[in-house]
Amino acid sequence: MTEIHGGPEREQVKELTDTASGVWRVFTRDSSHTFDMDDRTVLRSPGKLATNFGLVLPTRLDYIGTCQVGKRGSWFFAPLDPVTEPHEYLSSTVQRIERLDV
């Protein structure tokens, strides 16, 4: 691992998909989202200019629609009951995706 700006450089990818494993942080225009692909959870950390939705606990991930640098993110939270459809979350433009668990 190399150093960049005083800290370790993390593995970065252009796209995060359902086939990924491990823990990843997705940086959007206004927030960051931590995806634990092994536990299938997402935790949103709003930035200073972002709306705070009150989601302070990891939310169960059903599947990723789109999570690609340069595009708006789209992922779906698992329904709370078998009758409800998965809830789609739309993010602002994805700026960077980096691996956290190395």
Q: What are 35-73's pLDDT values in tens digits?
A: 999 999 999 888 777 777 665 678 899 999 999 999 999
Please give the Cα distance from 4 to 6 (Å, whole number): 5
Report pTM: 0.84
In a domain, 93, yes or no: yes
Q: Identify the H or E element spanning 41.
A: strand 41-46
In a domain, 87, yes or no: yes
Neighbours of 94 (CB within 10 A): 22
Q: How many domains does the chain have?
A: 1
2 pLDDT exceeds 70? no
In a domain, 7, yes or no: no
76 pLDDT exceeds 90? yes
Give the structural domain span for 22: 12-99
